[in-house]
Structure 1
């Protein structure tokens, strides 16, 4: 019994180490956004040049997630996780000491490489460590909270660090945390070298998929955003990206040891979950990014006030994901919770789309924040549980990387579309004589309506594609009062 308790304690400690690693990555996505004006003033970036502080990270991160997940399957997820943490931490130090535009952009690209390696294998490691359905649901709930709510925490932390010290510290703070996480991970995570590694990795496939995804992300964040989706350069780059992706799929069908075995697409739950992930993250990305702009540009909030405004989302995500997701999954099933959570997210986006330009926080902003926090806290743990439920152990890494890829690339694509549509709508309203604040608000409203509609499509996929199948992770379990009390 003592050995079993110690083993359980080690597993949960290992989970917390993995989640701290994930939190570093997620925080970095939004913490930088708050500091961009200070970075621009200090290093004298132009408006177009400043976008590369974000885009260089996103290109490396989104382009390498899938590759990193498969490398974890082949050569060991612990090894990939630790290597990614070391790379991310070292790059954070370089970002912090950067005194030139070129150094900061290059270090951000390296940060993206480390972030992709770290985050791509975490979910697969969690599934391996917690094979029992109830423990797995609880562990995934904790991970989902960190992955989803970290963005709101980043807004708050970025505001505090930038206003109280300077922008360099949004990167320096990663260094001690990274060192401590690497040290703890080396002690708590078991090695898992895979026998497949002996037969060699699919180098050509790796080059093709990394090139396709990085080119796609680059096209989204640069030519499409600056010149439009119908511009010749945008269309040419999209065509090249599609050709590279098609070549990758052909390679996977013929390679002896493929980077991404096409058999994983026979798993209906995984395919449906990735489609749902891609659609639902558009609304959440839009809420964090465009919602922050609405509060800043229309309501006049400063960086710290924006972070505080989003705090209810973080608290509710944490409370539901960490404390209640496992019991709710056991009681109602992952599929039912996913559908309910997505419906609440859609309702929150619709509510946000009603906020006027002269809104007050309590009646107009707090309710959608509450709805979005509740919906995400219910939906995303269930989505991850369903995605990994029928995946073979040897494919867990690539499944985890694929899920992260659809979230990041889908979110980036969706956000680019929402931002473009929002700006066009605002410009049109301003041209017709609408007041500036009302024109901006009208553009944000349209973006939130689109996000709600895409979430509705995700609900339709969950209702139809996941119907009629209940794995161990989905099967509701009736708990009596004694079991519910014990679960607390």
Structure 2
């Protein structure tokens, strides 16, 4: 009888891990699948140089801005219910994006995808945290999660290239529809109905609106500096309003009678605050680097979309290798050592990328730095998730998971806005290979600087204690 119950429990946790892995693969894929198709999307729908970045911003901002609300909804209304709802929204938005006829329609569809992802991603990560609360199983589960995260991002670039060249750019949107359907079926069957919290307060929708609006205006103000200088009244007013909205968000979180999106006391936990600051900078660097690599290969070296996608495969494999190494080293090295080491290794790869030239080649300018940067990035993925949720009350795992995902996406959007604008300024109005290469090289160098800063944060803020050990220690009074 005991063996049967044990086998049933193992099968149930296996189904949960599979469902979460598929969901994370899909969300991660959608972050990168459009990158290779950007030049064709610009031509097909008439996007301008900086306007094209909103295909990425629209997804990242709604995803990042609403993740906290999604995490709170998962805590309150049940992870399974919120996960299923998010998958439906995500699938429908992907379908709408594939049929877009003008830039605004595609941007709106990408924003709707972000809303769906913000609903399902924290629910999935919270489910993983609750199912594997401690020990070696937790490290192994987060290793699988990080590997699927990495594989989805890398396969997204490959699939985006193949689909763009042989089926048309619209399929970079359509591809998510069957994936959402499969994930929905897996979650419906494999994820058990969970209990909801007994708290009377409702999630703070106003806070979510203020946070998203503030971040959107902040990015908009930075991106528009190509037309309105930093000292212009237009830019200063836009940034001032953005700061005011974000300040209002913090005030609302402190005073709301509803359930706040984020309990500000969480930041007193050094693991939480350090991991999220680290994640913000890593998100900024990685999103910008993917963007520049795709454009450099196609616009400077003249490589087609399909071949460009294939050229990202070494990066994909490197991330998986790094993620596997992180699992093996998880019990031997402190998390902050893995975080800092991974960030510095990735920074070295991006600094190497910064040496690109207009007459370069894939073998001399892309392959080597791709391997170095990808292994470093893979080392960071699992440890940053485990660190950000270590010692968090189980009733707040959705909140903590949403916060971590949010900082990654907001970092991606802010980083691409700032670094992309700097690269555009370096290139100027010229579209010659030399001018574009100079701009992209500057962008890669700035990405390396962001990762050096992330490594410093890991050493200065994150505690030395191994996350797995710390979690077991923190959960002892909860089990008693």
Give the TM-score, by structure 1 length.
Answer: 0.88
Bigger drift between 238-247 and 178-187 goes to: 238-247
Shift of 1:18: 1.7
Any residues of structure 2 matched to 1:11-90 within 5 Å, and which?
11-43=13-45, 52-90=54-92
Residue 201 (str. 1) matches residue 203 (str. 2): yes
User: d(CA) in 1 for partners of 2:364 and 2:13?
Assistant: 43
Q: Which residue of 2 aligns with 1:137?
A: 139
Shift of 1:461: 1.3
Any residues of structure 2 matched to 1:172-321 within 5 Å, and which?
172-221=174-223, 223-224=224-225, 226-256=227-257, 257-321=259-323
Shift of 1:348: 0.7
Superposed CA deviations along residues 1-57 of structure 1, whole A, max 9, x for unmatched, are 232233223323322222222222222232223334444454455667655544433
Superposed CA deviations along residues 344-369 of structure 1, whole A, max 9, x for unmatched, are 11111121122333323334321111
Any residues of structure 2 matched to 1:106-117 within 5 Å, and which?
106-117=108-119
Q: Which residue of 1 aligns with 2:468?
A: 472
Classify 1:341/1:39 alpha carbon distance in 2 versus 1 (closer, same or farther; 3 Å): closer
Q: Which residue of 1 aligns with 2:339?
A: 338
CA contact (8 A) 1:62 1:217 kept: no
Shift of 1:217: 4.2
- SS of structure 2 residue aligned to 1:131: coil
The CA RMSD over aligned residues, in Å, is: 2.6
User: d(CA) in 2 for partners of 1:426 and 1:131?
Assistant: 49
Count of aligned pairs between the two proteins: 469
Q: Which residue of 2 aligns with 1:437?
A: 433
Q: Which residue of 2 aligns with 1:447?
A: 443
Bigger drift between 452-461 and 93-102 goes to: 93-102
User: d(CA) in 1 for partners of 2:4 and 2:413?
Assistant: 48
Residue 426 (str. 1) matches residue 427 (str. 2): yes
Classify 1:355/1:214 alpha carbon distance in 2 versus 1 (closer, same or farther; 3 Å): closer
Unaligned runs of 5+ in 1: 477-488
- SS of structure 2 residue aligned to 1:306: helix
Bigger drift between 203-212 and 264-273 goes to: 203-212
CA contact (8 A) 1:155 1:303 kept: no
Q: Which residue of 2 aligns with 1:399?
A: 400
CA contact (8 A) 1:278 1:407 kept: yes
User: d(CA) in 2 for partners of 1:308 and 1:416?
Assistant: 27
Shift of 1:424: 2.1
Shift of 1:467: 4.0
User: d(CA) in 2 for partners of 1:102 and 1:444?
Assistant: 27
Give the TM-score, by structure 2 length.
Answer: 0.89
- SS of structure 2 residue aligned to 1:199: coil
Q: Which residue of 2 aligns with 1:374?
A: 375
User: d(CA) in 1 for partners of 2:87 and 2:426?
Assistant: 41
Residue 388 (str. 1) matches residue 384 (str. 2): no
Classify 1:57/1:279 alpha carbon distance in 2 versus 1 (closer, same or farther; 3 Å): closer
Classify 1:228/1:87 alpha carbon distance in 2 versus 1 (closer, same or farther; 3 Å): farther
CA contact (8 A) 2:69 2:203 kept: no
User: d(CA) in 1 for partners of 2:441 and 2:139?
Assistant: 35
CA contact (8 A) 2:165 2:304 kept: no
Shift of 1:82: 1.1
Classify 1:275/1:100 alpha carbon distance in 2 versus 1 (closer, same or farther; 3 Å): closer
User: d(CA) in 2 for partners of 1:447 and 1:42?
Assistant: 26
Bigger drift between 177-186 and 359-368 goes to: 359-368
Superposed CA deviations along residues 402-449 of structure 1, whole A, max 9, x for unmatched, are 111111111211122212222222339x7xxxx943433332222222
Unaligned runs of 5+ in 2: 473-480
Shift of 1:302: 1.4
Superposed CA deviations along residues 443-468 of structure 1, whole A, max 9, x for unmatched, are 22222222212211111111121245
CA contact (8 A) 1:335 1:474 kept: no
CA contact (8 A) 1:137 1:473 kept: no
Classify 1:334/1:50 alpha carbon distance in 2 versus 1 (closer, same or farther; 3 Å): closer
Superposed CA deviations along residues 148-198 of structure 1, whole A, max 9, x for unmatched, are 443332221111112212223222222222112111101111223422453
CA contact (8 A) 2:226 2:425 kept: no
User: d(CA) in 2 for partners of 1:450 and 1:287?
Assistant: 10
- SS of structure 2 residue aligned to 1:192: coil
Classify 1:35/1:267 alpha carbon distance in 2 versus 1 (closer, same or farther; 3 Å): same
Residue 120 (str. 1) matches residue 122 (str. 2): yes
Superposed CA deviations along residues 275-302 of structure 1, whole A, max 9, x for unmatched, are 1111122222222111222222222211
User: d(CA) in 2 for partners of 1:145 and 1:234?
Assistant: 41
Classify 1:397/1:295 alpha carbon distance in 2 versus 1 (closer, same or farther; 3 Å): same
CA contact (8 A) 1:209 1:244 kept: yes
